[in-house]
Each structure stands twice: as structure tokens, then as C-alpha cells.
Structure 1
């Protein structure tokens, strides 16, 4: 039976946990990270496919993700711009497949309606404090309805409403009928404005990628705290008193510290036992913040043939199975790579299919949008997050109706010697890597202040 001692115990070696550990160590205190899995990164996962890094988890940062740019520079991880030249292929509300200019020419009026709704969302979200969204002047009203219900009330055309749904699900990874309107406004406010949240070009959240794969970030962070990192240590119980905490892991390992940072999504944090038990208020919150559902599928071709045809590799479709795609070719390599997203209901449905069935259905979709050459990939890989034991969903946790206004204060507020960190608790770019870094820094600052 192994027993360890440290100033600060950290549960989880995702990005927020690693950032917290590094910050604590730099302040002169001893951290100990207990990771249930056999790898670092959490919701960051890069796998090799024929020598190419495939990002089954987090992949991009955006122009205003200043913490992530600084972190990459510090760790020596180079970045490059997301390819975005050419037209997008659309397939919405029975239109058939239309390419960018044709789609915009045909539905210009509908897209103007959509732009009006986005500007209205910006105006309303400006009333929401990212730190205390439940205090917004209209919080009770907004938290009592879903984002989908608010969208439906805007009188949008079928094309505009469908496009808005797909873009929103692409961020939240759940249908808009499952998310409160207040939570949507909170998400927009933590990310600035809708232009930064929804755009994939300049100013958006998906403009930049990492040379060698996103996993370079957590792996290099882990190398800085490798003497303070334990793998295969799922935490089952946290005993907390007035001056110390004792953490019990499966297999008999225990660790004792002066403080503990639980760097897990709220739902996973709620699966740990606590002695004495946490309040029902906190537990009710974690029951109501499930992780969302997402799957990514990659097709590798001999070359990016769509580029020579004036396409950017992006599709937006309400037929599916995938709702969106991206060109994710690696600079300096001649292969063509297209990434397809299955989010929300698509991920929940197609995780029950065999890999061969998913590949066949997605190939059919790619052929509709990019032609017959799409039917002959060299390689294929996909990955869904709900089945991963130590994650149980991706990209983030969402609040349904009445969660923020009823339980919001319990999300990040420390309980005695227990502190909380994960991108889901962030007040800037919540649900993104940028938010994970912010939450790790915030939790570490709380602990350092308390210990000092």
C-alpha cells in the first residue's frame, strides 16, 4: 500500500490540473497529481495514424486565447494557422448540396436574419456576468427557457434556424433544447461575442493548431512536474477536516495534504465520495451538469483534392451523419485529411454503430459534398468520448434550465480545504483549453493564498 504526502493534492492530470500543479510548485509548495488514467491530457488526446497526429480531443485555439499562446511559446510548441481558403459546402433544410457563393446568393436574406439574431445575442449576453451569471437582471426569465425555445421564437427561416442550431451544437455538443438560454448567454459572454465564438476565420475560436499535435502541451507540462505525478490512481474517497485532507485511491494508495484541488468536470467530481459528505446543494449541482457528447472521425487521402476544386474542406449539413467538417491537413505533409464532427444526438446515436457502419455512412456524406475521390481514403479513425471511463463525455458540461439560478454559486466556490478546477468552471472561454488554463491558475491562486 503506497502512501504519499504533499502540500497540495491535485485530482486529475488534464490541462487544468497540470497548470495548477506547475503554479503551486513555482510558489514553493509541493503538489501531487493523482491521475486515474495512464496518460495526461484529459480531454486532449492526440493519436498517431500513419505518422500523422489525429486530434481525437481538443484541437484548436483562437486569436483571443492569450493564455494558450503564451503557454505554447513557453513550452516551445510551435503553432500554425487553420486552412480556410475556398468555399464551404452546405446542405440545409432540403436545399441539396450548394457551394459557398451559390448558397449565399440564394439565401442572402435568410443569412441577414441570422446576423440580426446573433447581434441580439451579443446585446443580451452583455448583461451576464461570467463569474455570477445568476445575478443578471433577467436571469430568472432566461434560465427558465431553453436556448432552443428562444431560437424558435425568433421567426427564422428553416435554413437560418437549422444553420444556427448546427453552429450552436458545434460548440455545446448537445441539442439546444437541453441547454438553458442563460447558459448560452453565459457561454457567449465568456468568449467575448458571437463573432469570436462561431467564426472559423479571423477572430474565431478555431484559427490555430499546434505543430506535433495538441498533446504536446500537456505532455511538456507533465515533464515539468514528473516527480509529482502518479498514474493509474482513480480517486474514490476524499476525507477532509479542518487542517488536512486524505485521498484514497483504488488499489489502496493514499495521499495526505493540506489542500486538494479536484480538477475534474463537475459530473466526475460528483462521483467521488467525500467524508464528511458535501452538502446536497453541491451534489444537486453536479447531478445537473452532465458532460456533453462528441465524436470526431478522420479520413486520410493521398492529397487534399478538394483544395484544387476551390473548396476549404468544410461542410455544414443537417442530413449527416456529420453536421460539420474541417480540412485538418498537416503542413509539410502531402496527405489530405478531413475531420468530421458528430456532436450531440449524432454522437449519441452513432456510438452504437460499428466502426464499419460509421465509416460507410460518413463516406457517403463526403462523396455528396466533395465528389467520388472522397470514397477512397487511405486511412480512417474515429473516437467517441462518452465511452472513455475517465472522461465520460466531451467537450464540456452544460447547464439545463434553472441550474444556474438555483445552484450556480456552488460551481467553483471552495468547500473547506477542497477547491475546484476544470474548464467547466472558467469565466473566460469556458469549455475551451483557454478556460482550462484559467481555472487551473485560479484554483492554484486560491490554494497558495490559503497556505501562505
Structure 2
């Protein structure tokens, strides 16, 4: 991973996240020579693990895969990364719209009818999402109508109680990392369609998107993947300009590095891809698209304790609340280690607001929230760490990009369509589990196939 001044390759890949490295390895296996240019000092992109205490890896970025993430399970097996199930034994703790803290069974007993109504809304969402072509959402029968309103506006017309509507908002923001008032209803339906059904998105038990974790932390995946193509990766090489013509590309980086190739795969989020200068300039529709696909706002905060004391009280470490900076939490203990680890999620407005607070103030507010749900022992962690992704120079948000009203129908066709020898790959361009690691792998494979077909046909 040294940095020469000039590199020649068949395929230049911009970004050493999961999509970029999958694309590079795939073209390498086809007999082509790739070079991956990564702006950061590390590989992995939106995957980042820190080991706060020996044997306790904390995933500040992507963390889970789900039962239908077949590419990720296959990749983990190939790389020798073992997996284990997400802990889900016990009751969830709720505190919504003034109810006070209620354990799961009490919450369901009190609001059972309202939760049945919510379930009907979710099934209706599944029915509507089934009409959305994942590779061309703008061609859905009601695309113009659905793209003209926000997901939040549609939710507001469903006649849900305040409790059910609040619960639906929290769960949806947990998926999109932005308030539902900022996302088009068509984009929500697209997200559901690419991931199967709402139960696969929202559930953390069997069938959900967060059922499985990686031994050693998720960073084991990009670390081992990078080791397979280490001779083709250059880090600390921020791409500034891509000169492209039918004959090939010249990619210029800050610091003077120049890489030339026959094709280029830009494997970073659309908004970051739009900050690169292209010569000649890209089409107006592509540039307008990247101006309209902001990255989500997400923060994780980890509290590490001497033991998972909440399990003694029959709790699973999950909270769902609109009181406090965090809206949800998870038990993220490491099997075989005695420490207790609680992960708090701050997404959308909560990440934007709490992310600007001094760390001590944010930690104090989160501690108070944990104490409300799990008792006084939550006030005394051994270790605390958090991280807000929009502050990271080479990411500028996490964990996905979202489209507001009128974006899919006016500009969506430019999302993954190659422009000459320029190709696009990131989880945001996927048509299966978009915004997840599974989608990142799919997008990398798709871009690699485009390049291979163009060069070896």
C-alpha cells in the first residue's frame, strides 16, 4: 500500500470500501489489472471497528447482516470470518409519548389494538412496495404520485394513534437515518422492495436485517479482503479529477499521484462522487442527482460495563424511546467475554443535534436515558465511546443516501448508468439490500461485470 507517483492499470477504482474492493477483486479474477485509490488512511469506508478493551471490538460503522444477506455470508465464509447471532433474549423497554418506561409485555398489553393497526399499515406498505421495480423505481405504476409526497406525509394519513405513529417513525428513521419528512414515499417503497418486506427491515430476530454479527468485528471483512488485493491498493490518495474519453481515463489525486486506465469505477456515495471534477463534465442530470442524494445522519454510542446486568432482569438490552438523545439500543456483548456492552443509536435529527454537543454533555444525557430503562447500574460504565459519521472527512454521513420528493422520477435513471468508461458502485446504487453491506457487495459485482463485459467481450 505504498504510493508511487504514476500507476497504469486496466481499471481504476475510486474508494476502498466494500463495493470498491469487491469490484477490484472481481476484475482481477477476470484477468484484468485494477488499482484502488482510497482517500483515507484505512480501507473499509463505512465499516469501522475500534477495540476499546482487549477482546471487546466495537463497530462504530456497519455491524450486522441479516438472514437473506447471502453474499455477505458467502464472503465471510470465504475470508474465514466467523459469525454469531445477535442476542435477543428478554423484553424490550419502551418509553413513548409520555407512557413512562414500560416493559415489552406491559407495552403490548396496553397498546395491543394500536399495534395491530400498525401491523396493517406495514402489510399495506409491503403490497405497495411490490409494485416498485428495484432497478427502475421511476417506472412504478404510481411513481409520480408516490414521489410527490414524503414518507412522513403518507404515514400521517394512515389514522394511526400517536403511540403507533411515533413507533413507526422511530423504526423508519432507524432504517433511513433521516426523518421521514425528508424522504420521498417512493424512496421508502424502493427501500422496502430491495430488502424484501417490512418485517425483514424492522425485525432483529429471525428473518430481520440485524440477526448476525462478525467475530472480531465487522472490520475483519474489509481487512481480509484488502489483504487479497494489497498490491493493488493505494491509501491516502484523495481523487480530485477524472479525465475520461472513449480511449480511457486519467485519474489525478491530491499529492500528485496519477493513475491511468481503460475504465474507472467510482465506488463512493453519490454525494461524494459529485465532488470530484470530471473532464469533460458529466451530464447535468447526473450532477443534479448527486446534489439531491445527501448521506444520512447517524451516530453510535457504546457503554461498556463489567457485566450485562440487564439480562438478570429479563431485559434484552433494547430500548425504544422518544425521551432522550437515543431512540433505540442493542445488547452488543461479545460471546465469551464477561463485559456488558450496550449500543445506543442516534439517527436523523438526534444525531444532528446531539452530535454537536460536547461529548461530556452527550454522554450525561445518554447515561440518564440508560438509567431510566435499565436501572442505577447503568450509571457506571467502565468505558464510553461514540462517533458521528458526518464529521468524518471521507464519509460525510452514514449509512446510506436518501432521495427526497421528485428525485427518483426526475433524476433516478442516472444513479447507476455508466457514462462512457465511468461506472458507479456503492451500496447506495444497489438493487438488493440497498444501504446495507449486502448491497455494497452487489453493487461492486455489478460494476465489475460492466467493466469486464466492455473489456473482454
The TM-score with structure 1 as length reference comes to: 1.00
Query: Using the alignment, how far apart are the partners of 2:356 and 2:408 within structure 1?
Result: 32
Q: CA deviation at 1:242?
A: 1.2
Query: Using the alignment, how far apart are the partners of 1:361 and 1:110 within structure 2?
Result: 30
Write out aligned runs for 1:49-448 (5 A). 49-51=52-54, 52-448=56-452
Q: CA deviation at 1:412?
A: 0.1
Give the equivalent residue in structure 2 for 1:18: 21
Q: CA deviation at 1:296?
A: 0.0
Consecutive unaligned residues of structure 1, counting only runs of 5 or more, are none
- Alignment deviations for residues 277-303 of structure 1 (CA, whole Å, 9 cap, x no partner): 001110000000000100000000000
Query: Using the alignment, how far apart are the partners of 1:352 and 1:438 within structure 2?
Result: 34
- Alignment deviations for residues 243-289 of structure 1 (CA, whole Å, 9 cap, x no partner): 11000000111010000000000000000000000011100000000
Q: CA deviation at 1:196?
A: 0.4
Q: How many aligned positions are there?
A: 452
- Alignment deviations for residues 345-404 of structure 1 (CA, whole Å, 9 cap, x no partner): 000001111111111000000000000000000000000000000000001000000000
Query: Using the alignment, how far apart are the partners of 2:118 and 2:337 within structure 1?
Result: 38
Q: CA deviation at 1:35?
A: 0.2
> Runs ≥4 in structure 1, deviation > 4 angstroms?
none
For the pair 1:32 / 2:35, whether they are aligned, the reply is yes
Secondary structure of the structure 1 residue equivalent to 2:395: coil
Query: Using the alignment, how far apart are the partners of 1:304 and 1:351 within structure 2?
Result: 26
Secondary structure of the structure 2 residue equivalent to 1:130: coil
- Alignment deviations for residues 281-332 of structure 1 (CA, whole Å, 9 cap, x no partner): 1000000000010000000000000001000000000112100000000000
Query: Using the alignment, how far apart are the partners of 2:98 and 2:130 within structure 1?
Result: 35
Q: CA deviation at 1:124?
A: 0.2
RMSD: 0.5
Q: CA deviation at 1:91?
A: 0.5
Q: CA deviation at 1:155?
A: 0.7
Consecutive unaligned residues of structure 2, counting only runs of 5 or more, are none
The TM-score with structure 2 as length reference comes to: 0.99
Q: CA deviation at 1:236?
A: 0.2
- Alignment deviations for residues 214-250 of structure 1 (CA, whole Å, 9 cap, x no partner): 0000000000000000010000000001111000000
Secondary structure of the structure 2 residue equivalent to 1:386: helix
Q: CA deviation at 1:32?
A: 0.1
Secondary structure of the structure 1 residue equivalent to 2:433: coil
